[in-house]
Every structure is written in structure tokens, then in C-alpha cells.
Amino acid sequence: MHTDHSQPKGVNDAATTAMSERIGHIKQRMAQACARVGRSPEEVTLLPVSKTFDDQAIRRAVSLGYKRFGENRTQEIGQKAPLLADCDVQWVVIGQLQTNKAKEVARLAHELQSLDRMELAEALDRRLQLEGRAIDVLVQVKTSPEETKAGLDPVELIPFLRQLSGYQTLRVRGLMTMAILSEDQSAVRRCFAQLRALRDQARQEGIAGIELDRLSMGMSGDFELAIEEGSTEIRVGSAIFGARDYPA
């Protein structure tokens, strides 16, 4: 017997198999949701959300073919990135950001899905120019009445997109939202439907340099409804990685 050293650590173990099975189950549910509304499964991407999970967990997902990972804190990306330097990970920032985090985003993020105000766009533009980079961004819109939910007020969306069209460093690709946390499925569905309607409305404005092909909506608890309402990307944490130990 000899040990096979060619496999990266943590790739062929039971935990990876379990993760693969969980992802397989999610993919099945995604395909079923697509089928219910006559969409093709290729229209919907699965973004694993790795916040609070360690580099080994991310390595397992990398071994299963994932490359983009959602995180909500730049500090956490800063800690994990060096440990995964060999993995070519693309960090997608999905959490509410203080403006003073623009520097870290410009340095570390491949993409930002939580752009929600001009002050942040200006700070990012400045920092990205210094880094000589441009990133894809989604504008986060508040579609839920909950006080705790972040995002731009829907009435401000079109003026905001017009302003963003002036920035070469921020490539606007679409919109993102978090639905209301509720047992009432119709209330959850309304949030997703509103984001799609806002996207359709904004598209009709034909703002130069703004593409709105992407709708990032749906999480572990509500992704099927989101897909039925037109999501092109679901952000899934706990259903892939397990329950989070501490509030993120």
C-alpha cells in the first residue's frame, strides 16, 4: 500500500462526499424550480456563500468545481485569501459595507453584489483607480419592509444607475436583493417579483454602459421561489456548508 499524495488535502474525504451530495440535492431542486416555470437550468448559477466557514470547507467546494465564493466581510476575505492562494478563488462581496472598507474591496474582491449608495460607489471608484482595476457590481435593492434589510430604496434605482454609468471602474451587471424573512411565501415571492419588475423597468431606460442581465436573489431558505421569479443566481450558504456557528 502507498498513500496517494497527488490529491490535495481534504478533497477525497467523507466531508467532501457529503458536500457533493448536498450540492447535488440543491441542483436537483434548482432544476425542478426551473422546470415549473419553463426555464432552462443553465440560466441559474449557484454561488456558494462561505462566510464563517474555514479554508478547508472552501477547498472542498473548490475540488467540486467552484471558484467564486460569497463573503460578507472584507476582514474575513483578508484572512482566508492567503490560505487559499493556490486555489484561484474569486471573492464575491455580498454583505453591507461601510465606506471605509472600499480599499479592501478594491484590493480583494472580484465582484460586489451589495452596492447600495453613491458614497460607496465614489470611494470604490477612487480605490479601484489606484489599483488599476475594474470590478463587476450588482446594485442591492431593498425589496423587504424589514428595517434590518439593506439596499437602495427602489424609487432611487434609476437615478442611481444613471450616476453609476459614469464610472469605468464599476461594471454594472444587474441587481441583488434579500427577501423578507417570513413564513408567508407570497410575501417572499413579492420581493423577488419586485426586483425583476424593477430590472425590466430600468432596462427600458436603456442607460449606456449598464447591463442588467443578472438578478442575484434566493438563499438556502427561499431559492426555489426566487428561481420561479426569474433569479439568475442564488446565494447559498447553510444548505451547502451546514449551519453557521455564530451569527454572520
Residues that bind ligand PLP (CB under 6 A): 49, 51, 72, 94-95, 178, 219-221, 235-239, 248
Instruction: Please report, in angstroms and rounded to a whole number, the separation of the first and last CA atoms in the chain.
Output: 44
Q: Which is nearer to ligand PLP, 9 or 25 (CB)?
A: 25
Nearest to 67 by CA among 93, 82, 47, 85: 47
Rg of the chain over Cα atoms, rounded to whole angstroms, equals: 18
CB of 113 vs ligand PLP, minimal distance in Å: 7
Of 8 and 221, which CB lies nearer to ligand PLP in the complex structure?
A: 221
Contact between residue 133 and residue 107 where contact means Cβ atoms under 8 Å apart: no
Of 63 and 113, the one with the shorter C-beta distance to ligand PLP is 113
Nearer to ligand PLP, 163 or 238 (CB): 238
- Alpha carbons 41 and 25: distance in angstroms, whole number: 14
Least Å distance between CB 29 and ligand PLP? 13
To ligand PLP, the closest distance from the beta carbon of 66 in angstroms equals 14
Taking CB positions, which residue lies at the least distance from ligand PLP?
A: 237
CB 148 within 8 A of CB 112: no
Q: At closest approach, how far in Å is the CB of 162 from ligand PLP?
A: 25
Task: Look at residues 160, 136, 153, 148 and name the one whose alpha carbon lies nearest to residue 68.
Answer: 136
